[in-house]
Amino acid sequence: MTTEKKRLRVGVLFGGRSGEHEVSLASAASVMRALDPEKYEAVPIGISKDGRWLVGAGAQKLLPEVLKSGERVMLPADPNAAALVPLDERPGGAVRVDVVFPVLHGTFGEDGTIQGLLDLAGLPYVGAGVLASAVGMDKDMQKRLFREEGLPVVDFIATQRSEWELHPAAVLRAITKRLKYPMFVKPATLGSSVGMTKVKKEEDLPAALDLAAEYAQKILVERAIKGREIEVSILGNETPKASVPGEIVPHREFYDYTAKYLEEGTRLVIPAKLTKAQVKKFQEYAVRAFRVIDGAGMARVDFFLERRTGKIYVNEINTIPGFTSISMYPKLWEASGISYRELIDKLIELALAQHNEKQRTKYSIELPSGAAGALES
């Protein structure tokens, strides 16, 4: 007599209240297609642009409809429930999930907010925890950590939106004193190059700051590098591994949102044409960047290779890299010998291992007999 192995119910969490909502939908569709149906049962969980949590029928083909017609749910009060609670009564009660695979990009998804919520709910999840997610979302803070770690970063300066609105002249002086043109202006807490502008002359700087301020409270300005854009994928928890490096060759002047997701002109060169010494250095820097932010599960580390000097700069780390059909993260692992489906398996294994490791931590203490009364007196 054979017993059928229980399939893991994987909640693929997508959508969200961010400027990268549509990117997340594409990533979720790709992840759900890659889930092995013999091992997993996919549970699509959508977050609408207005913040409503919705659960659909579970089929990838229904993904676009989840945000329109899905049943509204919320996380449970009981951290041992491992389920989503419907807001409206229905037969069958709670929607059970064994592990969550977040493919939420940007604000309220990649910044530690969802990770903290899942921790409170006691649900295992793929990827970085609260601290690493928050740091990975803030380009200013991660660059400060990289610099402290001794990793090379491009010269930069950050300012708050409120500071720009209240004291624009002072902000402009500080930027032009620190940096020379051309420079990039971008929201410090948003990915996919949303709201980013390459500024070549002084008169264009205010408009670029205004645009970035529409998407984030903090604005990052950094020196523009004439160089190649190299990316490395990371996989692991305590012993992270680096993939072969790949190169982004945009047909636009820089790799903006349109080039990443809406056009087909951008080329991905995998593996990147580099010397063995360069490959080793990129991989070393990528692992160090992952460790310094306390990463877990996965990340993609982006670099610049300056053409004139050959110097490598760590640009940023993405703790929930894109999982679309044209995304670098899975493509780099495929070139390193790990297929898309195997990658999903490994990420889920890492999520469960990380959750088990968290369970070993004591979060409360038992007071000696009589101590509680003494504290109350």
The active-site residue, picked from 316, 327, 329, 336, is 316
Q: Is 20 tagged catalytic?
A: yes
φ, ψ dihedrals at 286, nearest 5°: -65, -45
- By C-alpha distance, which of 278, 277, 273, 289 is closest to 152? 289
Q: Is 50 tagged catalytic?
A: no
Q: Please report how many Cα atoms fall inside a 13 Å half-sphere around the Cα of residue 187, on the Cβ side.
A: 21
Q: Is 178 tagged catalytic?
A: no
The active-site residue, picked from 15, 16, 20, 127, is 20
Pairing of strands 99-102, 8-15: parallel
Q: Is 300 tagged catalytic?
A: yes
DSSP character for 204?
G
Q: Is 302 tagged catalytic?
A: yes
Residue corresponding to tokens 């054979």 = 2
Q: Is 318 tagged catalytic?
A: yes
The active-site residue, picked from 318, 327, 329, 336, is 318
Residues in the chain: 377
The C-alpha atoms of residue 95 and residue 73 are separated, in whole angstroms, by: 9
ω into residue 271 within 30 of 0, thus cis? yes
The active-site residue, picked from 18, 24, 27, 192, is 192
Which amino acid does the sequence have at 209?
L
- Spell out the residues 6+ positions from residue 46 whose beta carbon is closer than 8 angstroms to its own: 14, 15, 53, 54, 55, 56, 63, 66, 67, 70
Residue corresponding to tokens 């037969």 = 91
The C-alpha atoms of residue 108 and residue 278 are separated, in whole angstroms, by: 36
253: left (phi over 0), alpha (psi -120 to 50) or beta: alpha
Q: Please report how many Cα atoms fall inside a 13 Å half-sphere around the Cα of residue 193, on the Cβ side.
A: 15
The active-site residue, picked from 246, 322, 329, 336, is 322
The active-site residue, picked from 261, 285, 313, 329, is 261
The active-site residue, picked from 215, 300, 313, 329, is 300
The active-site residue, picked from 111, 136, 302, 327, is 302
Pairing of strands 227-236, 241-242: antiparallel
- Spell out the residues 6+ positions from residue 355 whose beta carbon is closer than 8 angstroms to its own: 99, 124, 125
Supply the residues annotated as catalytic.
20, 192, 261, 300, 302, 316, 318, 322
